[in-house]
Amino acid sequence: MSAGPLTNAMTVDVEDYFQVSALAPYIPRAEWDAIPRRVGVNTHRVLDLFAGAGVHATFFVLGWIAERHPDVVRRIVAEGHELASHGYEHVRVIHQSPEQFREDIRRTKALLEDLGGVGVRGYRAASYSIGASNLWALEELQAAGYVYSSSIFPGKHDLYGMPDAPRFRFTPENAPELTEIPITTVDLFGRRLPAAGGGFFRLFPYAVSRWLLSRVNQQDGQAGLFYFHPWEIDPRQPRQHGIDLRTRIRHYLNLERTESRLKHLLRDFRWDRMDRVFRIGEAV
């Protein structure tokens, strides 16, 4: 039974476990091709999960993954999901020059469109790494032909965040033809809490995540946005040794519970692709 009348946006950031920002200090990018990949099998599991629940979603796919798993890209499109860009190889925008970013987003868009046979209109930055210091990236996205971005966290985080950003969709002043759809948050007791999934979905009991999203739907009257990664339903992934405690907790906490929680989430709320939930390209 749905917890509310609104339809929320379900999204998946398609990257492998060894590509996450938290593990970047421990796994050199130059070694990626030598590491056995698990993202293909895990993304097919996610697609099976959505098929069983009758849910369509938006998949933000790394170009690096798309080149090595074109079958995943084609299945995403064939089953009616939205194909979107996560950049080529998960480099945070804060570590790119405008020229590097421009080449990255254009290369990945062309690659995904070639493999998927559909237009790619959405983009999500690695680790939500667009913020106050690099809003020029939104201009570059607009110029490259993207219609929307979901790259800003309107709060504080040790890796990212823009606390002064609007909580819900907005049109950037410097990119008037682009829509930015920030990660869903809740303002409570003077604090801004994340309510969009990711590591917090594994950290909090499921009832907390459900309550936060319900509050956005019912009190704010807004559609929420949820995200997760295929590696988060894979408790058997290889464990990295020698990593610090915070990274170990952030990456491995409750992996064995994520799939079960996702099944509850898919039943408890209504879900669809980002472009349809937020009526991308329509007047709102």
**Residue 161 pLDDT:** 83
Confidence of residue 167 (pLDDT cuts 50, 70, 90): very high
Note whether residue 130 is domain-resident. Answer: yes
Q: Each residue of 227-258: pLDDT tens digit? A: 999 999 999 999 999 999 999 998 999 999 99
236-270 per-residue burial string, b: 16 or more CB within 10 A, e: under 16: ebeebeebeeebeebbbebbebbbebbeebbebbb
**114 pLDDT higher than 50:** yes
CATH number at residue 87: 3.20.20.370
Residue 109: give the domain boundaries.
Answer: 7-277
Note whether residue 164 is domain-resident. Answer: yes
Rounded mean pLDDT, 98-125: 98
**Percentage, residues of the chain above pLDDT 90:** 92
**4 pLDDT higher than 60:** no
Taking the CA atoms of residue 83, residue 89, residue 93 and residue 97 in that order, the dihedral angle to the nearest 10 degrees is -120
Beta-carbon contacts of 76 under 8 Å, excluding residues fewer than 6 positions away, are 47, 59, 61, 83, 116
Note whether residue 39 is domain-resident. Answer: yes
Note whether residue 70 is domain-resident. Answer: yes
**Residue 282 pLDDT:** 72
Q: Each residue of 11-20: pLDDT tens digit? A: 999 999 999 9
Quote the tokens at residue 256: 């064995």
**Residue 1 pLDDT:** 37
**273 pLDDT higher than 60:** yes
Expressed in angstroms, the distance from the first to the final Cα of the chain is 28
Note whether residue 83 is domain-resident. Answer: yes
**Residue 158 pLDDT:** 67
Note whether residue 1 is domain-resident. Answer: no
Note whether residue 283 is domain-resident. Answer: no
Note whether residue 2 is domain-resident. Answer: no
3-state secondary structure of 224: coil
Confidence of residue 113 (pLDDT cuts 50, 70, 90): very high
Number of domains in the chain: 1
